[in-house]
């Protein structure tokens, strides 16, 4: 891999990791708010952000657009070639965070219906 491609891939990995961290905050705030029954405007913003993210993933056949872009700069077959995460987490990331999001939304719905 050329130095130019290495730099481009590094930049993508940094950006991808920062976005991943942002969505961790979004999803875990949503879960916290649901569990503590603090349903506020941030909850709806969080749900909206995750829905937008899901639509983007659907548009890119369940791949992050940054992963698609990073493919141009790497031929790695590892799941974490484009992000600074352990390989197992990169591999199961969508499954893990979809489950947490689903649980949070179920709790929010319960809070709204029972409140």
Q: How far apart are CA 5 and CA 17, in angstroms?
A: 18
Please say if the pLDDT value at position 40 is more than 80: yes
Instruction: Give the chain's mean pLDDT.
Output: 96
Q: How confident is the model at residue 2 (pLDDT cuts 50, 70, 90)?
A: confident
90: left (phi over 0), alpha (psi -120 to 50) or beta: alpha
Q: How far apart are CA 18 and CA 25, in angstroms?
A: 11
pLDDT for the residue 60 = 97
Q: How far apart are CA 23 and CA 28, in angstroms?
A: 8
Q: Is the pTM of this model over 0.85?
A: yes
pLDDT tens digit sequence for 79-96: 999 999 999 999 999 999
């Amino acid at each position: 891999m050329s130095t130019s491609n290495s730099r481009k891939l590094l930049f993508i990995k940094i950006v991808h990791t920062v976005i991943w961290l942002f969505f961790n905050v979004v999803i875990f705030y949503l879960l916290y708010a649901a569990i503590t029954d603090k349903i506020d405007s941030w909850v709806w913003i969080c749900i909206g952000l995750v829905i937008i993210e899901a639509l983007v993933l659907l548009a890119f056949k369940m791949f992050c657009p940054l992963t698609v872009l990073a493919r141009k700069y790497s031929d790695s077959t590892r799941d974490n070639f484009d992000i600074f995460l352990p390989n197992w987490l990169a591999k199961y990331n969508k499954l893990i965070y979809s489950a947490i999001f689903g649980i949070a939304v179920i709790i929010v719905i319960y809070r709204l219906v029972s409140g």
